Amino acid sequence: MVSDKILEYFVEEVERPGVGTGITLYMRGLVVAGITMRSKKYYDLMSTLRSEQFQTTDANEIAIGKSTQEEYKRFFQDQREKATNSEPEYIHLEKATVYSPGMPPTYVAVNPWRGKISSIDAFSIGSNPRV
């Protein structure tokens, strides 16, 4: 269940034209900054990430990896279709940076990033590469 109608509006807007908006999210002490992206783009990226991570020269492992990759792709294609027909529960970001509190703050770049809208405490439009 989405608790912030304004945030829900921004997520729905990116789904229509597909143009991302810089956004900074605040979630239980973490700060996540990035560019909103369509759920379809998120699922397309996720379906290819595993193949990029799989590295071996063993013929048997390659065969198993290809089979697993096809299952992985089908799963994310199914998720992509389901996301098209429902209200948004998640926000997807590309070129995201996750900041953890501390002195000095630590951060990690991730692409793509996914978060549950109902877990977001606050947000602001615009993403600063260094918080």
Contact call for residues 121 and 16 (beta carbons, < 8 A): no
Q: Give me 110's structure tokens.
A: 């991730």
Query: Which ranges in the chain belong to alpha helices (H)?
Result: 5-15, 39-53, 59-84
| Cα dihedral 34/38/44/48 (nearest 10) | 0
Q: Which residues, at least 6 apart from 87, have a Cβ–Cβ distance to it below 8 Å?
A: 2, 8
Phi, psi of 94 (to 5 degrees): -115, 160
Looking at CATH, the fold of the domain delimited by 5-125 is given as SH3 type barrels. (2.30.30)
Q: What angle do CA 11, 24, 86 make, to 5 degrees?
A: 15
Report d(CA 96, CA 122) in Å as an integer. 17
Q: How many CB atoms lie within 10 A of CB 130?
A: 8
- The pLDDT, as a whole number, for residue 65 is 72
Domain range list for the chain: 5-125
- The pLDDT, as a whole number, for residue 1 is 46
Average pLDDT, 10 consecutive residues per value, the chain (131 residues): 76 82 91 90 78 70 73 74 71 91 78 91 79 45
- Integer CA distances (angstroms), 88 to 40, 43, 45, 61, 73, in order: 12, 14, 18, 37, 21
- The pLDDT, as a whole number, for residue 103 is 66
